[in-house]
Amino acid sequence: MASAIIIALLAITHSGLAQYTKFPEGFTFGVATAAHQIEGAWNVSGKSENVWDRLSHTRPWMIADGTNGDVACDSYNRYQEDVDALAHIGVDFYRFSLSWSRILPTGRVDFVNPDGIRYYNALLDALAEKNIEPLVTLFHWDLPQTLQDLGGWANPKMIDYFRDYSDLCFREFGDRIKSWITFNEPYEICEDAYGDDKKAPAIDSHGVGNYLCSDTLLKAHAESYHLYNETYRPTQNGRIQISINSIWYEPADPENAEQVALAEVANQFKFGWFAHPIFTEAGGYPTVMVENVALQSKAEGLPKPRLEQFDDYWIKRIRGTSDFLGINHYTTHLITGAGVDPIAKSPSWLKDIGAVTSLKVGTDSASEWLRVVPTGFANFLRWCKSSYNDPPIYITENGFSDRGTLLDYGRIKYFNDYLSEILNVIYDDGVNILGYTIWTLMDNFEWRAGFSERFGLYKVDITDPSLPRTPKLSVEYWKQLCATRELPQEDRFKEPALPLKKSEL
Ligand code: GBH
């Protein structure tokens, strides 16, 4: 009797009582990858060195397992297998990125590498063959080393280089690409790579380089948008957007007014840093951010703030330059109080926020930073609707890491619970979400984590030279979801409860 009740309770808590299961008409699904994480072929067919090649070759100890992207999943040679896998799952679109140093080995348009163009044409043809729409990212972190040698995103000249590179891509591929993303996760580019050493080129100019980068990057984004809008949109009829990552901050104690206020400040610093200039009526960096950095800079004895507001010309030029709000979202962290976060360098973006953060929320994954908090996702999406005037939204990344098990129940539960929150906010709050993108097709080079954290639907055995791809259980889950446009309810997708002990039978 007692055991029957326990089983019934388990069944209820396990199913999570999904309120809505069906996606609205027209909602689309896709899978994402990024060039450096999957292509390999790092120095063949004319490709030049990028900042991740440089970091992983010269400072291999900075990659958790000492691996690199030299071969990765070898998608440069095995793209047809990737496309077949996408077709097997049944997704509507494939989000991938272009490798700048493969297309333009000098970083500039003085030499266009024919093999680079040929590779992406072949991939686009293979996708068209299977009726899979391309969603293409121009920049997913793999800057040509030649441009980094000139200062990379801290150099304002990058505005021209990025515009020229996008111009070439629109011209060469724009007849077949109807959806573009300029930058993947500007926060990660500026803060992790220039304000810290978490990403290549690991400049770690905390509190300074990160803000130089955002200045350049937002202007480069705007110039690329205007170029597309004026020169290519009239004939190519596509859309162009930016994808911003959010770690969503919530107060540890929702009743604590100070924490509530600080969480808002932290969200302005994190997501607002790049979303506010583009998606608000006022434009420019969030006021609280400009004010906080000005105060800190003054205390540091600086004659000018480390972050300066854009002038009127650039405020207007940047405002409104995205057809959709692209959101990459994985996780939520907590704000526990005011002050300097113990892990903050000085000066730094984190110190400028003036709040203490904590990871003690939700359940864990294989990535320390990735906590599973579906309700945080819902709160974040509602916040986007109210903060940015109800924008049309595409979720351009969402996913979960483990160590590579084929029975990836944890991943399936993550997808199911996060998707369920998407349905809640669509139907209950009217958040305008039009599509969803899985991160990622297959286990791949997870940046500084190497292959030690795995996000893929397919397992890739990197110890076998033929790099076999094996579907995990999550492939079955997604195959069914894409076919029915409903959250699968079957028990086979749920982790079996622990076997009952003899005494409980
Ligand atoms: C995305 O970034 C990327 O777009 C994608 O390329 C990547 O593979 C995927 O997520 C999974 O990570 O451990 O302290 O150094 C998501 C944003 C960037 C947030 C890395 C956490 C690591 C912080 N993430 N960051 S730390």
**Residue 406 counted as domain residue:** yes
- Residue among 172, 188, 223, 397 flagged as catalytic: 397
Q: Is the CB of 225 under 6 A from ligand 1?
A: no
Burial profile 333-350: b = 16 or more Cβ within 10 angstroms, e = fewer: bbbbbeeebeebeebbbb
What ligand 1 atom has the least distance to the C-alpha of 330?
16
502 occurs within a structural domain: no
What local confidence, expressed as pLDDT, does residue 18 receive?
A: 62
pTM for the predicted model, two decimal places? 0.95
397 is catalytic: yes
DSSP 457: S
Task: Concatenate the DSSP letters of all residues of 77-115 into one string.
Answer: HHHHHHHHHHHHHT-SEEEEE--HHHH-TTSSTT---HH
Query: Ligand 1 atom closest to Cα of 370?
Result: 21
Q: What is the CATH number of the domain that holds 54?
A: 3.20.20.80
Q: Tell me the residue type at 461.
A: D
Cα of 187 to ligand 1 centre, how many Å? 11
Count: domains in the chain: 1
**How many angstroms does the Cα of residue 10 sit away from the middle of ligand 1?**
33
What pLDDT is stored for residue 8 in this prediction?
42
CB of 419 closer than 8 Å to CB of 24: no
Say which residue the tokens 């955002």 belong to. 214
Strands 93-97 and 355-358: unpaired
Number of helices followed by number of strands (H, E) in the chain: 19, 11
Q: Is residue 313 part of a domain?
A: yes
Q: Is residue 463 part of a domain?
A: yes
| Assigned domain for 504 exists | no
pLDDT score recorded for residue 503 = 55
For residue 501, tell me if it sits in a domain.
no
Say how far apart CA 292 and CA 310 lie, in whole Å: 16
Q: Would you state the pLDDT for residue 434?
A: 98
Average pLDDT along the chain, 505 residues, taken 10 residues at a time:
44 56 98 99 98 98 98 98 98 99 98 98 98 99 98 98 99 98 98 98 98 98 99 98 97 98 98 99 98 98 98 98 98 98 98 98 98 98 98 98 97 98 98 99 98 98 96 98 97 84 53
pLDDT confidence of residue 419 = 98
In a domain, 498, yes or no: no
Q: Best of 96, 185, 333 to mutate for ligand 1, by most ligand atoms within 8 A of CB?
A: 185
pLDDT at 497: 83
pLDDT computed for residue 475 by the predictor: 98
Contact yes or no for 285/277 (Cβ under 8 A): yes
Tell me the residue range of the domain where 273 lies.
Answer: 2-493
